[in-house]
C-alpha cells in the first residue's frame, strides 16, 4: 500500500492518511492499531486527552514493524497549557509510549480564555522539544486565523501543521488558504463529520457512479484538496474500507459539487476554538 506523503516545513514527510484514536476503547486500542498497521497504516493520531497513548504505542510494538516506519502524533492536554505542566506532561507522554521521540506534538486547543495560560508561551516550550529532537515536528490544533497570526508574530518556529475540524459541511476555505500561504499543512479531524454527510444526495450519487461508499468519496475529496486525514474506526472492515481510496480520483466537477456542500459555521459539530472550555 503506497500511501501518499506530504512534505512538512521541517523537510520531513508525513503520511497523508492515518488512523484517529479519539474515543477508542482503551482495552481494544492496541489490537486495533496492530490490525491497522498490518493493513498498511503508518500514521496514528493520539493525545494526552484521549488517555490511550500507551495503548497506541503498544499496538505499534505488537505489529513487529520497526518504530521508524511509523508517524505518531500526540497533543498537549489543554489543562497543561503552561510551561512547567507542558514539560512534565510531555515527558510523561514519552514514558507512557516508551518512545524516545514523537513525530509530531501539538497544542491541542488555543484556550484563549484561560487567564493563567497563553498559547504563545506554551508554544515556546514546544520549540524546546523540537530543538531537542524529542518532537520531530511541532504544530497546533484547532487554531483559527487570528490565533495563528498572533503565534507567527510572537514566536520563532512556524507550526508544521494545524489540525482542525474539516469536512464537506465545514470547509473553512479562508483558513486553508492562510495556512497554505504560511507553509502549514492542514490535518482534518472528523473528516467524515461523524457520518452526517453520508445522506447527502451529491455524495450518494458520486459513490454509486464510482462503485465506492460515501465515506470513501468523502475521504478522497479531502485528500485531493490537500488535507491529511485520519478517520477513526474500531471495525476491521471499516479499517480496510477507509484505506481503499487510492485507486480512483474525483473529477473537477465532482470536487466542485462536494465543495458546494459547505455550511460554514452551521456545519461545525465540535466546539468552536474560541469557546472550548
* Residue 217: inside a domain: no
What percent of the chain is modeled with pLDDT above 70? 100
Residue from 22, 41, 50, 101 carrying the catalytic annotation: 50
* Residue 186: inside a domain: yes
CATH of residue 75's domain is 3.20.20.100
* Residue 212: inside a domain: no
Cell digits for 243? 484505506
Q: 36-67 pLDDT, tens per residue?
A: 999 999 999 999 999 999 999 999 999 999 99
Instruction: Measure Cα distances from 22 to 4, 42, 49, 56 in Å.
Output: 23, 17, 9, 11
Work out the pLDDT band at 277, boundaries 50, 70, 90.
confident
The residue range of the domain holding 188 is: 5-195+227-234
Q: 192-225 pLDDT, tens per residue?
A: 999 999 999 999 999 999 999 999 999 999 999 9
Instruction: Measure Cα distances from 98 to 25, 54, 66, 117, 186 in Å.
Output: 20, 8, 14, 28, 28
Q: 36 φ, ψ to 5°?
A: -65, -40
Q: 4-15 pLDDT, tens per residue?
A: 999 999 999 999
Work out the pLDDT band at 1, boundaries 50, 70, 90.
low
* Residue 93: inside a domain: yes
* Residue 100: inside a domain: yes
Work out the pLDDT band at 112, boundaries 50, 70, 90.
confident
**Mean predicted confidence (pLDDT) in 72-84:** 96
**Mean predicted confidence (pLDDT) in 113-131:** 92
Identify whether the C-beta of residue 206 lies closer than 8 Å to the C-beta of residue 254.
yes
pLDDT at 77: 96
Catalytic residue flag (residue 41): no
**Mean predicted confidence (pLDDT) in 118-144:** 98
Number of independent structural domains in the chain? 1
* Residue 244: inside a domain: no
Identify whether the C-beta of residue 44 lies closer than 8 Å to the C-beta of residue 70.
yes
Helix (H, G, I), strand (E, B) or coil at 44: strand
256 Cβ contact list (under 8 Å, min separation 6): none
**Mean predicted confidence (pLDDT) in 154-172:** 98
Q: 217-238 pLDDT, tens per residue?
A: 999 999 999 999 999 999 999 9
Reported in sequence order, the residue ranges of the chain that DSSP labels E, i.e. its strands, are 5-7, 13-15, 19-20, 43-45, 71-76, 104-107, 138-141, 161-165, 185-189, 228-229
Work out the pLDDT band at 248, boundaries 50, 70, 90.
very high
Q: 83-110 pLDDT, tens per residue?
A: 999 999 999 999 999 999 999 999 999 9
Q: 257-274 pLDDT, tens per residue?
A: 999 999 999 999 999 999
**Mean predicted confidence (pLDDT) in 181-199:** 97
pTM, to two decimals? 0.97
CA distance 243 to 1: 9
Looking at every residue in the chain, the average pLDDT score rounds to 96
Which of 265, 223, 256 has the alpha carbon at shortest distance from 242? 223
* Residue 116: inside a domain: yes
Work out the pLDDT band at 117, boundaries 50, 70, 90.
confident
* Residue 249: inside a domain: no
Amino acid at each position: 500500500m503506497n500511501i501518499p506523503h506530504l512534505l512538512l516545513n521541517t523537510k520531513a514527510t508525513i503520511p497523508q492518511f492515518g488512523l484517529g484514536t479519539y474515543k477508542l476503547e482503551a482495552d481494544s486500542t492496541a489490537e486495533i492499531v496492530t490490525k491497522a498497521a498490518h493493513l498498511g497504516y503508518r500514521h496514528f493520531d493520539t493525545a494526552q486527552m484521549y488517555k490511550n497513548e500507551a495503548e497506541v504505542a503498544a499496538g505499534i510494538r505488537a505489529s513487529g514493524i520497526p518504530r521508524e516506519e511509523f508517524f505518531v502524533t500526540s497533543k498537549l492536554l489543554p489543562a497543561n497549557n503552561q510551561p512547567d505542566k507542558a514539560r512534565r506532561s510531555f515527558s510523561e507522554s514519552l514514558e507512557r509510549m516508551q518512545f524516545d521521540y514523537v513525530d509530531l506534538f501539538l497544542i491541542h486547543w488555543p484556550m484563549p480564555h484561560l487567564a493563567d495560560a497563553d498559547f504563545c508561551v506554551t508554544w515556546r516550550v514546544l520549540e524546546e522539544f523540537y530543538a531537542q529532537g524529542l518532537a520531530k515536528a511541532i504544530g497546533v490544533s484547532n487554531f483559527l486565523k487570528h490565533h495563528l497570526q498572533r503565534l507567527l508574530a510572537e514566536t520563532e518556529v512556524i507550526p508544521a501543521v494545524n489540525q482542525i475540524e474539516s469536512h464537506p459541511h465545514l470547509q473553512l476555505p479562508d483558513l486553508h488558504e492562510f495556512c497554505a500561504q504560511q507553509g502549514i499543512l492542514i490535518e482534518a479531524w472528523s473528516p467524515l463529520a461523524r457520518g452526517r454527510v453520508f445522506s447527502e444526495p451529491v455524495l450518494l450519487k458520486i459513490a454509486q457512479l464510482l462503485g465506492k461508499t460515501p465515506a470513501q468519496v468523502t475521504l478522497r475529496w479531502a485528500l485531493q484538496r490537500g488535507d491529511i486525514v485520519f478517520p477513526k474506526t474500531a471495525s476491521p472492515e471499516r479499517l480496510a474500507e477507509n484505506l481503499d481510496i487510492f485507486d480512483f480520483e474525483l473529477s473537477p466537477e465532482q470536487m466542485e459539487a462536494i465543495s458546494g456542500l459547505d455550511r460554514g459555521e452551521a456545519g461545525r459539530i465540535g466546539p468552536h476554538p474560541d469557546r472550548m472550555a
